[in-house]
Chains A and B, each alone.
Chain A
Amino acid sequence: SAVISQKPSRDICQRGTSLTIQCQVDSQVTMMFWYRQQPGQSLTLIATANQGSEATYESGFVIDKFPISRPNLTFSTLTVSNMSPEDSSIYLCSVSDGTSGSYQYFGPGTRLTVT
């Protein structure tokens, strides 16, 4: 199984600012994903981070608000831009070895509070 780390583990930010979250995997993986988990809620997929190309965003999420980079097969970043209190959530990175029919491993998450 892959070991995934995220930085920072938590942060408190002021509205209007941006935060970049890093996801590092200890081995090369095919797929990397970013999720949001609002307080007391389930996980919602933000986007699939594609290596060497633009991320694939889910409905309701846009690149201007959540720019994503994936420069190689072990690293990705998610930026939460122009933050508002509604962006207060846990942001989770996950990886998988395949496409369909593969489970995902999750990082520990980044707990973001926007004041």
Chain B
Amino acid sequence: GESVGLHLPTLSVQEGDNSIINCAYSNSASDYFIWYKQESGKGPQFIIDIRSNMDKRQGQRVTVLLNKTVKHLSLQIAATQPGDSAVYFCAENTVGYSTLTFGKGTMLLVSP
């Protein structure tokens, strides 16, 4: 399929490693944050979300950390698998608005 990650920063890891993908946001009024995974040739897929009244949320193999002081968001993937290879986007939402603003994205490449 066609790649959407031609010009994106890339993180390369070995299978089984833990991966950390970072995102900086600019709007201090943002209060809801989402991580999406986009595989080649597909639309973005929801992974995990977090609201601004939390600083950590865990899912299955994934953890999102939110640092509102420095406006930073990270996605941690435990025991990374080849199927995790994709482009990952953070998105932010501001209270009272229905729209999302997407970050630039990071391509994750997992080697067997």
Contact = CB atoms under 8 A, between A and B. Distances in A.
B45 to A, nearest CB: 7
B11 interface: no
Main secondary structure of the interface of A (DSSP, over half): loop
A114 interface: no
Interface string B20-63: 00000000000110101000011111100101000000000000
B99 A40 contact: no
Contacts, number: 72
Interface residues of B, number: 33
Interface residues of A, number: 31
B74 interface: no
Interface of A: 1, 4, 31, 33, 37, 39-45, 48, 58, 90, 92, 94, 96, 98-109, 111
